[in-house]
A and B are shown apart, each in its own frame.
Chain A
Amino acid sequence: MTARVVFRKASRWYGPVMALNDVSFELGPGVFGLLGPNGAGKSSLLKLACGQLRPSQGTVELLGRPAFGSPEVFHSVGLCSDTDAFFEDFTGLQFVSALLSLNGFDRAEAEKLATAAIETVDLKDAMHRKIGGYSKGMRQRIKLAQALAHQPEVLFLDEPLTGMDPQNRKRISDLMKRLGEEGRTVLVSTHILHELEQVTRRVLLIHNGRVLAEGDLGEIRDLLDRHPRSVRLKARDARGLARELVLLPDLVSLNLEDATGHLLAEIRKPDAFFSRVQELSATFGVEEMWVTDENLESVFSYLVRK
């Protein structure tokens, strides 16, 4: 096995706050899910992995070098961070090309690779528009494009599916799976188990700064199915969508928020719900979908007790 990301007894604290505690694991080729509730330490782990932070104790290696202070590894590493930050006045193509130029590609090569990456995330029609005018889902996809464009061997994706419509969730999930099959290492931080299940069964469970296990997704999913999950949907015809969704047997509650026009659903069987939303998305114009993770917290508390 080839280990590309290696944590050895790595800890990280911010002042008195322990963000990550004595974490050890190794990742080779394939897709890995990093799963945990808010504040579990997922983002800190990713920041350590891609050398944005130093470990307070222990070591973190990326492609055989210390992750912090080894910029050369970024020839082969891509990061899609969780921050919604861009060069707002750049077009999508300019943004990805400019970042490729930092990898040493000349202008023509950078434009070619950028266009290919933008096509991969299905943004070609919007690539000459300024990022400032992109929707949340488009911003997420252009961020993903810049992480993919230089065809890295290691990819860190922090909540990559946030704000995407069902079709694009499916597209990006398929892409992650394909990258894993090509032999790249993909570490995806998410709390959306449904999509993760489509790309991998290997999951790092993280809670309170500790990696509980490199767990099997099946067990977690069973637990989650027993706990209602909250989903927020934005659709062109929210009322029409609501009329269809109330027919689902495992729907716990469904509310139409007057202020935002969003639908708030509590569900027990995410699989069935997401499949149905995907079927209905074209008819009712589903634009965005978020899964909140309050209930994941309770599942993790259960796992910790176990």
Chain B
Amino acid sequence: MTTETEIRATRPVWSAARDVFFISIERMLPRPRSFWVFLLLALPVLLGGLLRIYPPKDLPLTGFELYGMVIALFFVRNLLPLVALLFGSALISDGVDSKTLTYFLTRPISRLSIFLGEFLAYLVTVLTLTVPCVVLTYVVLCAGTPQGLGFGAPNLIQDLGASALTLFTYGSVFALLGVSLKRPLIPGLLFLFVWEGFVANFPGDAPNYTLTAYARSLIRHRPSEEGLAELFSKFFGVGESVLVLGITGVVCLALAVWIFSRREYVISS
């Protein structure tokens, strides 16, 4: 027995993803999570301001060098991967936990559209939180110094690109974790602090298998004084780093979409 109802096709991927994006961004940005993450990201601005107001007598670094250290160590190496974990792993699992995923799954849109819309909302949210903090850190540490703001401006632009790529790659990895596991946060933290935290500083080829080694290689203007880490750390060329991070991000995204498209989500009252 057949139906007389004429069925229209599933909506085109990108226009449906755009509509998912608009809903998701409105839910993602004003959340308490975003507020606390913003405060964390703004910490270097505050510390930089204090340093400028009360400069230590024997500080051997210029403002620009200090900024280089902050962007490399604080942002790219530690904080941005953590931000990516908090937001990326929650892309789909937030919808499951809040039981609102059903509203997306019962519309004439493909799961690819849902995932892309959510991921774009993630990227826009984390960049909205990150970019002002990086720029302000640069301004606070470099404005009024003998080198001035113009000196490091090209580096600032590159750093913003490196931050965006770091957020994209880690976001994809954690989105994959989020669609694969019920509770992705603990495995994500283990990955960040055990694998990425230690292995990247091992001698030999071990750092080749970490993302952080490639991400921090994108920051070329950092000061050399990084203690023991500097002795062991491995650095890659910019092109190689961009390629590895980009490919890893795309592969993880594709895998995440594949899993999300096939999984059942049992959402009960």
Interface of A toward B, CB cutoff 8 Å: 1-4, 6, 14, 26, 43, 47, 50-54, 63-65, 68, 71-79, 81-87, 89-90, 98-99, 101-104, 146, 153
Contact = CB atoms under 8 A, between A and B. Distances in A.
Interface in B150-193: none
Interface residues of B, number: 38
Contact of B108 (A4, A83, A90, A103): A103
Given A74-B106, A87-B23, A102-B19, A14 B7 contact: no
21 contacts: A2-B1, A4-B5, A6-B1, A51-B105, A52-B264, A52-B265, A53-B264, A64-B2, A71-B111, A75-B8, A81-B102, A84-B99, A87-B27, A89-B26, A89-B27, A98-B23, A98-B26, A102-B11, A102-B20, A102-B23, A104-B16
Given A52-B265, A63-B7, A102-B19, A1 B106 contact: no
Which 4 pairs from chain A and chain B are nearest by CB? A85-B99, A102-B107, A64-B3, A3-B1
Given A64-B5, A99-B107, A90 B22 contact: no
A90 B100 CA distance: 13
A229 B38 CA distance: 54
A63 to B, nearest CB: 5
Contact of A65 (B7, B27, B30): B7
Interface string B128-149: 0000000000000000000000
Nearest to B27: A87
Given A26-B1, A64-B3, A72-B9, A90 B26 contact: yes
A84 B10 CA distance: 27
Contacts of A63: 3, 5, 7
Which interface residue of A14, A64, A75, A102 has the most chain B CB atoms within 10 A?
A102
Nearest to B1: A3
B109 A83 contact: no
Contacts, number: 118
A294 to B, nearest CB: 18
A43 B109 contact: no
Contacts of A51: 105-106
Interface string B229-269: 00000000000000000000000000000000000111111
Contacts of B26: 87, 89-90, 98
A136 to B, nearest CB: 13
Given A6-B1, A89-B30, A101-B22, A64 B104 contact: no
Contacts of B267: 52, 81, 83, 85
Contacts of B111: 71
A104 B27 contact: no
A68 B261 CA distance: 11
A83 B3 contact: no
B19 A101 contact: yes
Given A3-B1, A101-B19, A102-B16, A146 B107 contact: no
A1 B100 CA distance: 35
Given A3-B2, A4-B5, A81-B102, 18 more contacts: A1-B1, A2-B4, A2-B5, A26-B1, A52-B102, A63-B3, A71-B108, A72-B7, A72-B9, A72-B10, A74-B107, A75-B108, A85-B98, A85-B267, A98-B19, A102-B103, A102-B104, A103-B108
A73 B99 contact: no
Nearest to B103: A99
Given A43-B269, A53-B266, A87-B27, A79 B102 contact: yes
B261 to A, nearest CB: 8
Nearest to A95: B103
A83 B1 contact: no
A67 B108 CA distance: 12
B78 interface: no
Interface in B12-32: 15-16, 19-20, 22-23, 26-27, 30
A284 B203 CA distance: 78
Nearest to A153: B5
B264 A54 contact: yes
A74 to B, nearest CB: 4
Contacts of A43: 268-269
A14 B264 CA distance: 12
Contacts of A79: 102, 106
A116 B22 CA distance: 23
A101 B102 CA distance: 15
Contacts of B3: 2-4, 63-64
Contacts of B4: 2
A305 to B, nearest CB: 29
A75 B10 CA distance: 8
Given A52-B265, A71-B108, A102-B16, A87 B100 contact: yes
Contacts of A103: 11, 107-108
